[in-house]
C-alpha cells in the first residue's frame, strides 16, 4: 500500500550513497546500515525528511519516532508537517505511566514503551524509523498506537532490508520505504 509516487532515481542514489555498510556489527553476520554519513550531509538529510513527510498524507496529527535513530528522523518530520511528536522509548526511560510491548530484533530483543496519555482516540499517526529489518519494532509500535485508540495513517522507513521480510508482519499498514535492498 502506498499513497505517494516512487522515489526519483536521483534521490534514491543520493540517499543510498550516504548509507555506510558496517560488516559484522554489532555482532558477526550482521551488516549494519550506518546512517551517520546521510545525517551529516544537509542535502541528503533534507531529501530524506521531505520524502518521509509525504508518507501519511496531509492530515497527520502526531509523528511517532522510535528510540534512538527514529528520534532523529521523526522530530524534523513532525516539525515539517506541523504535527506533534511522540517518542517511543526503550524500557525504563520514560518518566510517567507507560504501556509496553516486547519483540525480537535482528540482533537481540527489546521492550519499548510509550506514555499512556500520548495519543487521543482517532488521532492520525505517522510512524517514522530509519531501518525496517525483521519488522518487530514497527509491529510493536503499530500495536501500541492502535491500543491507545489512535489511527496509523502511515509508516515511513528510510531503508527496508527486504531479505529479512519484515514487511510480512505489516500487511495491515500503509508502509512506505524510501529504499529497499
Ligand X SMILES: O=P(O)(O)OC[C@H]1O[C@H](OP(=O)(O)OP(=O)(O)O)[C@H](O)[C@@H]1O
The binding site for ligand ADE (CB under 6 A) comprises 30-33, 105-106, 131, 133
Is residue 40 among the annotated active site residues?
Answer: no
Give the shortest CB-60-to-ligand ADE separation in angstroms: 24
In the complex with ligand X, the residue whose CB is nearer, 8 or 68, is: 68
Q: Which does 132 bind (CB under 5 to 8 A by kind): ligand ADE, ligand X, none?
A: ligand X
Alpha-carbon distances of 15 from 33, 87, 104, rounded to whole Å: 12, 24, 27
CA-CA distance, 42 to 44, in Å (whole number)?
Answer: 6
Q: Which helix (H) or strand (E) holds 108?
A: strand 108-115
**Least distance from ligand X to the Cβ atom of residue 71, Å:** 8
Q: Which does 30 bind (CB under 5 to 8 A by kind): ligand ADE, ligand X, none?
A: ligand ADE
Cβ nearer to ligand ADE, comparing 38 with 81: 38
Asked if 85 and 60 count as a contact pair (C-beta separation under 8 A), the reply is: no
Cα(106)–Cα(85) distance, integer angstroms = 26
Under DSSP, is residue 51 helix (H, G, I), strand (E, B) or coil? helix
Choice among 18, 69, 167, 176 that is catalytic: 69
DSSP secondary structure, 22-38, as one string: EET-SSTT-EEEE-HHH
Distances (CA, A) of 143 to 11, 27, 167: 31, 28, 15
β-strands 124-132, 108-115 pairing? unpaired
Spot the catalytic one: 106, 113, 123, 160: 106
Q: Residue 32 touches which of ligand ADE, ligand X, none (CB < 5 to 8 A by kind)?
A: ligand ADE
Q: Which is nearer to ligand X, 43 or 91 (by Cβ)?
A: 91
- 120 a catalytic residue: no
| Minimum separation from the CB atom of position 126 to ligand X (A) | 15
Contact residues for ligand X (CB under 6 A)?
66-70, 105-106, 110, 129-137, 166
Give residue number: closest CB to ligand ADE: 133
Residues assigned a catalytic role:
69, 106
Amino acid at each position: 500500500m502506498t499513497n505517494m509516487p516512487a522515489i526519483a532515481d536521483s534521490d534514491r542514489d543520493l540517499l543510498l550513497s550516504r548509507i555506510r555498510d558496517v560488516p559484522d556489527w554489532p555482532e558477526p553476520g550482521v551488516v549494519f546500515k550506518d546512517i551517520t554519513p546521510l545525517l551529516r550531509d544537509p542535502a541528503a538529510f533534507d531529501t530524506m525528511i521531505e520524502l518521509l513527510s509525504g508518507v501519511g498524507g496531509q492530515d497527520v496529527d502526531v509523528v511517532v519516532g522510535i528510540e534512538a535513530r527514529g528520534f532523529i528522523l521523526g522530530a524534523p518530520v513532525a516539525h515539517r508537517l506541523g504535527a506533534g511528536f511522540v517518542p517511543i522509548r526503550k524500557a525504563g526511560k520514560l518518566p510517567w505511566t507507560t504501556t509496553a510491548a516486547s519483540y525480537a530484533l535482528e540482533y537481540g530483543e527489546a521492550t519499548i514503551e510509550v506514555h499512556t496519555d500520548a495519543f487521543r482516540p482517532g488521532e492520525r499517526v505517522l510512524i517514522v524509523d530509519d531501518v525496517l529489518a525483521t519488522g518487530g519494532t514497527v509491529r510493536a509500535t503499530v500495536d501500541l498506537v492502535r491500543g491507545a485508540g489512535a489511527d496509523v495513517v502511515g509508516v515511513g522507513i528510510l531503508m527496508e532490508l527486504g531479505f529479512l521480510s519484515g514487511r510480512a508482519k505489516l500487511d495491515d499498514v500503509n508502509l512506505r520505504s524510501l529504499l529497499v535492498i
